[in-house]
Amino acid sequence: MYLRGCARSRGRLNRPTLPRDQDLLSGEGSSIVTGVISPTPSTISEMTSQLDTLSMATDDNDRYPTTSKFPKTRPTELSSKKGETGQEIALVANYIKILAAPKWDLYRYHCSFEPEIEIRKIRRETLANAGIKDVAFDGTLLYSFEDFGAEHVVSGKHPVTNELVTIKMKRTATASPESPEFFHLANLIVRKLLEISGLKLLGRNYYSFDKKIELDRYKLTLFPGFMTAVNVYEGQLMINVDLSTKVMNKQTVYSILMDKFQRMSDAKQAQDASIKELVGQIVLTPYNNETYRILDVAWDKDPTYQFTKRDGTQQTLAQYYEEKYHIKIKDEQQPLITVKASKRVAKRGPKKDDPGMIFLIPELCCVTGISDSMRSDFSLMKEMSQYTHVGPNERFQQLNGFLNDIQGREEGRKELNKWNISLDQGLVELTGRTMEAESIIYKDRTIKYNPLEADWSRDGRSLAHLSAKHLDKWIVIFYQRDSQVAHQFVDALYKVCTPFGMRIDFPEMIELPNDRSETFIRAIENKAHPQMDLVCCILTNNRKDRYDAIKKVLCVDCPVPSQMLLSKTLQKPGQLMSVATKVGIQINAKLGGEIWAVQIPSKTLMIIGIDTYRDSQSRSSQMVGFVASINPTCTRYYSRVIEQRSNNDLVTGLKSCMQDALQKYHQVNGALPAKIIIYRDGVNDFQLLDVIENELPALNELCMKAQEGYDPKLGMIVVKKRGSARFFARDPRGGRQLMNPPPGTIIDHTITNQEWYDFYLISQMARQGTVAPTHFNVIWDRTGLKVDHMQRLTHKLCHLYYNWPGTIRVPSVCQYAHKLAFLAAQSLHTQPHEQLADKLFYL
């Protein structure tokens, strides 16, 4: 193959070393030796590694465990986090109660073999020959129900040589079901039940191979299945279960590389295109059922690359796969891909420069998920949505069927009885509350929307905006072929913006001889200046490189708000006025205008949104969007970007942004805010401690130093959109049909965390599938707001995103911060000019 024949460049990341552990790439784990039904090796491997992380101890407290691995953030003075206002609504949640805690002790032993046995599989078989009945064995640590005493010595025959091997076992810990970390093991019990149901592990979740869906036209296979997680919710051990669909691309990484090099004559161009498409993608290796994220392509390496085995000898990757899996590598000149290993896999490797990275062979890696180009294919996404966007009633039926299947199988009942566990007969039922619809305030009129839809696009499209900016000095740049389209658009914009209160002067029309990126850039550099109101570009296609180049000039070099439009969008029959209306609203927001508002009770409140996005040019850094409201109605904003390459960069940047935002607030209002509430998006549960220990103190300290005697009441809320909780509402008209809960529904008990001040909010209507709630965790609260007021304020803020005349999933400042971070990470790769900070230029 001619991939190797091209000029190879060294990978962008530090060159990783292949771990010396021979089992590292195999994913081979422990299995139950005798006496217990044996799960698949990869499942037991997960069981072993997770058991090994437990804090093993004896706990005599007669209660369910708590999620002590996460910081406890619920204020001690908060007696109840349940709100009271709103109309009650009967709900069903995708949780199953584990009704009975088992009564047993689990013993952990460290095992040593004499003579030494290197291969883990042989160690397991030797244990079996010695008559040891264990729960799990990782090659060194053994977990057993049987107490062998503090120390125990047994002998077993080597399965290959028949040599007698002495096994020394030393007890290192004991765990009981009352131990705080018991739910880790409960997760693994549930995984066993999934296997009994005939599901197979693909990556992290379990899927039905029998029900796979082939989309041959797109070379995709969909596997329906389930994801599960066992945790403690308000003191009750429960299983959270939801539908999951694994999308498998029939292409391998090798075929993608081949396609690029066959279509492009320039090798460097093919390499760049390959890296652009592959980096960040998740691949699955069928030989060991592991998933990995691609970090880079190692063009200077191939399957003849040698690594050092445990015994000190050298072996090539090609030899390794042939010896280990009986796989013959077809092309020994293909490059290797660099991937990030899971913590479980990386843990088994030696601690070298970067033990978290390993090499894989492209022809053995299947691509999962869909690419950006597939995502933009409307027909593909429409066809996929038939299988992935499952409505609430069908989702409930499938989840209920999952529970019935487990309890209806004799083998499943035996598994539960073995652990002395029983499950509830149905999904959890609970009561939520639905808040009343907000009033949307325009300049001359206040409107009410349909509470079941939370959309006021039809009512608000011709109303005067709260404050309107004018387009006095602006230019429109377009390819000469689109001259008529450009003039028609300007005429339409004038017509739709007049009712908004916007004055639109005729722009300078700049006609270009071609549509090359450099021609657009040259025109902008010749005509644009910072005193200009707007630069509008009508583009012939959505080429990313041209878009990025134009945005970088107008956001960094010559700071002017800009509007990009596709000529084909303006040419859709009968839609020009509708498009112009949306663009007119967006332009007013970009210039600093205020479109609508909701009633915000506090007039001295600052709301801040923070979100992150990985830089597309540097995977080791990310852009952080920081957006703060600067007026009493929370409709004007101050926006900044932080370039984060380390935790110190983030903390330093947040302090700088906060200081500048407070100064801007003081400049606008003549005083500093009395209350500040920060909505922190882009944080998972395991990052909570970083936010609490680093970000929160830094921001709090900065506020205290902003002015002598200044002591603002600070609150911080972590926002999570990617949770697996789902809720179904009973049809109020009766019947057995289930539907999505209406917008404004709050859930703040039963399935929340007893150690957090948290709640779920469904703020928008789902037009397709099952609505996804947003989780809010109040990790710090000195605002003095009641629980009802905090929940209501959060819902109000979901109404203020000016790109959509309706509610969105998160408070507007979070969505603005996301848009800002996305622009910086995808197009600018640096901070935008500070002159644009008081405008929503990134919409």
High-pLDDT (> 70) share of the chain, %: 88
Specify the 3-state DSSP secondary structure of 98.
strand
Contact status, residue 508 vs residue 526, Cβ threshold 8 Å: no
Among the listed residues 690, 701, 715, 713, the one whose alpha carbon sits nearest the alpha carbon of residue 776: 715
CA–CA dist 489, 576 (Å, integer)? 7
Alpha carbon 351 to its chain centroid, in Å, reads 28
Please say if the pLDDT value at position 138 is more than 50.
yes
Q: What are the pLDDT digits (tens) for 684-727?
A: 888 889 999 999 999 999 998 888 889 999 999 999 998 999 99
| Least trusted range by pLDDT, from 623-627, 730-734, 811-815, 835-839 | 730-734
Alpha carbon 432 to its chain centroid, in Å, reads 26
Q: How many CB atoms lie within 10 A of CB 510?
A: 18
Pick the CATH number of 605-715+775-836 from 3.30.9.10, 1.20.1250.20, 3.40.50.300, 3.30.420.10: 3.30.420.10
Please say if the pLDDT value at position 240 is more than 50.
yes
Q: How confident is the model at residue 104 (pLDDT cuts 50, 70, 90)?
A: confident
Q: What are the pLDDT digits (tens) for 487-532?
A: 999 999 999 999 999 999 999 999 999 999 999 999 999 999 989 9
Q: Pick the more confident residue, 539 or 77.
A: 539
Task: Say what the pLDDT of residue 706 is.
Answer: 86
Q: What are the pLDDT digits (tens) for 172-197?
A: 888 777 665 566 667 778 988 998 99
Q: Which residue spans within 66-163 are E strands per DSSP?
A: 87-93, 95-97, 106-114, 136-137, 141-144, 151-157
Task: Say what the pLDDT of residue 179 is.
Answer: 66
Task: Say what the pLDDT of residue 733 is.
Answer: 73
Q: What average pLDDT does the chain have?
A: 86
Specify the 3-state DSSP secondary structure of 329.
coil
Q: Give the range with max mean pLDDT: 201-215, 314-328, 361-375, 397-411.
A: 397-411
Among the listed residues 87, 775, 731, the one whose alpha carbon sits nearest the alpha carbon of residue 392: 731
Structural class in CATH, domain 468-590: alpha beta
Q: Pick the more confident residue, 280 or 110.
A: 110
Q: List the domain boundaries for the chain.
A: 41-74+102-182, 183-247+380-422, 251-375, 468-590, 605-715+775-836
Amino acid type, 764: Q
Task: Say what the pLDDT of residue 6 is.
Answer: 46
What is the value of pTM for the model shown? 0.82
Q: Pick the more confident residue, 376 or 561.
A: 561
Q: How many CB atoms lie within 10 A of CB 104?
A: 11
Tokens of 559: 């700071």
CA–CA dist 440, 343 (Å, integer)? 48
Q: What are the pLDDT digits (tens) for 531-561?
A: 999 999 999 998 899 999 999 999 999 999 9
High-pLDDT (> 90) share of the chain, %: 59
DSSP state of 764: S
Counting beta carbons within 10 angstroms of the beta carbon of residue 324, is it exposed (0 to 12), middle (13 to 18) or buried (19 or more)? middle
Q: C-alpha angle with apex 672: 669 to 673, nearest 5 degrees?
A: 95
Domain 41-74+102-182 carries which CATH code?
Answer: 3.30.70.2620
Q: How confident is the model at residue 134 (pLDDT cuts 50, 70, 90)?
A: low
Tell whether domain 251-375 is in CATH 2.170.260.10: yes
